[in-house]
Amino acid sequence: MMMLEKQEVTLEKGLLDFMEKWKDKPGKEIMILHKIQEVYGYVPRKVAMEVSRVMGIPLAKIYGIITFYHLFKLQKPGKNQISVCMGTACYLKGGNDIIQEIEDLIGVAVNTTSEDGHFSLEVVRCVGCCGLAPVMSINGKVYGNVQKSELPKILGEYSGKEANANG
């Protein structure tokens, strides 16, 4: 195997501590990826390479895992992450329509990020509030019983705030 060169990236301290704690544990790979994603919001290529080098985990193995599990992301998510539930209860109560409406409203397709990096849209499976169906969340805040007609207002809250913050 080709030896990876040291990457020009300094790993965040929390991640380094975590790697130190887990380094001798079998089966550490997935837990470390979770930590990377917690720190960076996704798994940046440089970080994956550096972790591979430091921990001695083949890069192919790391990418094999990332591509197998739905939760790991290779692309940087938007500033505002919209997740729409498509579990059974939400599907029955019109989750599909919610997704379509959001796509139309902000021009972002499922699993992509808007060009300005402002919003990203993803579909999730059951967030465990099925009685509230249809359910969506933005940056972790859960919205239940979502009506299509409420979407412009809900999304508006985020575009406004962020736009100001960005100057």
Partner 1 sequence: MKKYIIVWEPDSQKGSPVNNALLKILNEKQLAEKMEIIRSPFIGFTSSGAILRVMPDNLIYTGFRVEDLEGIVNATLAGDRVDKFISSYDNKFLPVEEKDPLSRQFKIVLRNVGYLDPESIEEYISRGGYKALEKALFELGRDGVIAEMKASGLRGRGGAGFPTGLKWELTKKEAGEIKYAICNADEGDPGAYMDRAVLEGDPHSVVEGMIIGGFAVGCTQGFVYIRAEYPLAIERLEKALKDAREMGLLGKDILGSGFDFDIELRWGAGAFVCGEETALIASIEGKRGNPRPRPPFPSVSGLWEKPTFINNVETWANVPVIIEKGGKWMGSIGTEKSKGTKVFAVTGKVKNPGLVEVPMGTTIREIVYDICGGIKDNKNFKAVQTGGPSGGVIAEKYLDMPVDYESLQSIGSIMGSGGLIVMDEDDCMVDVNKFYLQFSVDESCGKCMPCRIGGKQILEILEKISKGNGEMTDIDKIYSISNAMQKASLCALGQTTPNPVLSSLRYFEDEYLAHIKDKKCYTGKCKDLVQYTVIPEKCIGCGLCATRCPVKCITGEKRKPYLIDTKACIKCGECYNVCKFDAVKRG
72 to 111: interface string for ligand FES, x by CB under 6 A: -------------x-xxxx---------------------
- Please give the residue whose beta carbon sits closest to ligand FES in the complex: 87
Instruction: Work out which of 68, 115, 153, 164 binds partner 1, going by CB under 8 A.
Output: 68
Find the shortest distance in angstroms from Cβ 115 to partner 1.
26
Instruction: Choose the contact partner of 28 out of ligand FES, partner 1, none; CB within 5 to 8 A by kind.
Output: partner 1
CA distances from 25 to 18, 30, 96, 105 (A): 12, 12, 42, 47
**DSSP run (H or E) holding 50:** helix 45-55
109 to 148: interface string for ligand FES, x by CB under 6 A: -----------------xxxxx--x-x-------------
88 contributes a contact to partner 1 by CB under 8 A: yes
Stretch that binds partner 1, among 7-15, 43-51, 88-96, 158-166 (CB under 8 A): 88-96
Tell me if 121 sits within 8 A of 103, measured CB to CB. yes
Peptide bond into 134 cis (omega under 30): yes
As a whole number of Å, the CA-based R_g of the chain is 19
42 contributes a contact to partner 1 by CB under 8 A: no
Instruction: Choose the contact partner of 106 out of ligand FES, partner 1, none; CB within 5 to 8 A by kind.
Output: none
DSSP H helices in 69-141: 88-92, 95-106
CA distances from 43 to 48, 59, 147, 149 (A): 7, 12, 34, 35
CA distance 109 to 75: 14
Provide the binding-site residues for partner 1, judged by CB under 8 A: 26-31, 33-34, 64-65, 68-72, 86-92, 97, 124-133, 144-145
